[in-house]
Amino acid sequence: MPRLTLDGIAKSFGGVPALADVTLDIAPGTVHAVLGENGAGKSTLMNILSGLYRPDAGTVRLDGRVVPPGDPKLALDHGFGMIHQHLTLVDRFTGAENIALATGGGVGTGVIAAAAAGRALARDLGFTVDLDRRIEEMPPGMRQRVEILKVLVRGATIVVLDEPTSVLTPAEASSLMAALRRLAAAGRTVLLVTHKLAEVFAAADAVTVLRRGRLVATLPIAAIDADGLAALMVGPGEAAMPAPAAGAEVMPAPAAGHDNAVPVLEVAALDVDDDAGRPAVRGVSFRIHEGEVLGIAGVDGNGQAELAEALAGLRRPRSGDVLVDGVTVEPSRPRQRLARHRVAYVPRDRHHAGLVLDMDGSRNLILRDVDRPPVRRRFGIIDRALAAARLARAVADFDVRGAVNGPVRALSGGNQQKLVLARELGHQPRLLIAEQPTKGLDVAATAFVQRKVLALTSTGAAVLYISTELDELRMVADRIAVMSGGRITGILSRDQADPQSLGRLMGGIDRPSTDDTAGAAA
């Protein structure tokens, strides 16, 4: 009998299906991987298992008995232990105190018992962890181990891990995969949610592939190889070229006309940390030449956001160099980067980073140069006529519709994005960093944004185009670099970028590549 059965699970948000008729059986004492791209429905499915979401249809059965949906405490009582991608630990507490909180013992009387139980499990799993240290003092790998111990001490027999290696070093990730195998050998059932093919082959007995909310296949891991999994994950496409062998360089030869040209953007050995001080971008190098669009592909959360922020001046790199037209760019505020190097930036989150929603359209259009002429005149006076002229031009050139003279929060998402694009392109940038520029837009607005971005390259500007949508990148980019685990695992020309090859690189199959060798200047 299966340990866990999901039968016809469906879930929609705002009328948009996230899962549709997902049915599968999971055997006891196994590691079962759930694989898929961003938006495939992996996290939604796991949140249903943990009781955080109530499915619109379908049932979950544990050892043949229906588990009532939508009750996190009941899910815990049934033995479901969820380990989220973003850990749920109290930073100022020790590891033992966090375990005590989870088991209901409190941070006083329960700490000794929690520490003893945690240490015993750590020995069984081969974990190195100091439960007397505060979480804020631990490295990411040790924090992850505390989170696992927390759910195990509470009695979890089904352990669900959502992208558990996103903040781990390769060595820590390898250690975690070995620990999951030991958990399964001890009789627990493990659900590993991931997009990394290497992790699937390192730990899983079976794999389920989701794509756009639907179950594509469930197979024993021995029945498929990396190429087959990559094809299932990203979907059918044009005839695939042979996938590069593991460890092979995958960058194309230099394109004609770029052999000796100074690139518009050169990034060399860039390391960037995330907000918690953990490595997010690791040794990334690439170049973009005049009139070229370099796409950045990958499942969200693999360092793309930190890379974009570092290049835009919003985040200070830990090490490495950034050059625009051969001139080293010093860490600076975004407005200075725009004024000195003509670097424009379309952020992924237009509401929080792109616009001031309670301001009108004209004020949003002058945000980037409100501190200098010609916008700022003598005695700090803002040239309102200039701001109004910019708004009129944006409305005409970018087809911005709606009440632009009122707060921009009243505009549709597409018109808000057009306003951001109008502001950035209005500065005639030499380099545009476009991060998820069509996210949340309808088909017409998406096509409009893409046309404007591509038109910019006719002026000789370069574009770094970051998206999780492979079809979009294959349409707009001349080359596509894939990020996995904070590294660039390969850079492919448009002709090379078939779904199978991109899927392999997204899964971290090939070794990290740089853009400083023969294929650099393509």
Percent of all residues in the chain with a pLDDT value above 90, rounded to a whole number: 35
Question: Which burial class, exposed, middle or buried, applies to 371 when counting CB atoms under 10 A from its CB (0-12, 13-18, 19+)?
Answer: middle
Cα distances (Å, whole numbers) of residue 332 to 316, 328, 339, 352: 8, 12, 11, 20
pLDDT of residue 493 exceeding 80, the answer is yes
Domain annotation covers residue 307? no
Domain annotation covers residue 407? no
- How many whole angstroms separate alpha carbon 297 and alpha carbon 475? 13
Domain annotation covers residue 107? yes
Q: Residue 489 carries which DSSP code?
A: E
SS3 231: helix
Q: Considering its fold, how many domains does the chain have in total? A: 1
Domain hosting residue 27, numbered range = 4-234
Task: State residue 242's pLDDT score.
Answer: 34
| CA 166 from centroid of its chain's CA atoms | 9
pLDDT of residue 175 exceeding 90, the answer is no
Q: Are 305 and 348 in contact (CB under 8 A)?
A: yes
Domain annotation covers residue 164? yes
pLDDT of residue 500 exceeding 60, the answer is yes
Task: State residue 77's pLDDT score.
Answer: 87
pLDDT of residue 85 exceeding 50, the answer is yes
Please list, in sequence order, all residues whose beta carbon lies within 8 angstroms of the beta carbon of residue 419, skipping any fewer than 6 positions away.
355, 361, 364, 365, 394, 398, 400, 404, 408, 411
Count of all residues that appear for the chain in the document = 522
Task: State residue 44's pLDDT score.
Answer: 87
Domain annotation covers residue 286? no
Domain annotation covers residue 255? no
Q: Residue 249 carries which DSSP code?
A: -
Task: State residue 136's pLDDT score.
Answer: 87
Question: What number is the average pLDDT over the span 123-128?
Answer: 83
Selected residue with higher pLDDT from 172 and 117:
117
Q: Are 431 and 462 in contact (CB under 8 A)?
A: yes
pLDDT of residue 521 exceeding 50, the answer is no
pLDDT (tens digit per residue) in 327-343: 999 876 666 787 789 99
- Considering Cα of 423, then 366, then 316, then 276, what sign does the dihedral take? negative
Task: Report helix angle 140-153 to 95-103, nearest 10.
Answer: 30
Q: How confident is the model at residue 253 (pLDDT cuts 50, 70, 90)?
A: very low
Domain annotation covers residue 494? no
Domain annotation covers residue 211? yes
Q: Give the domain CATH number at 133.
A: 3.40.50.300
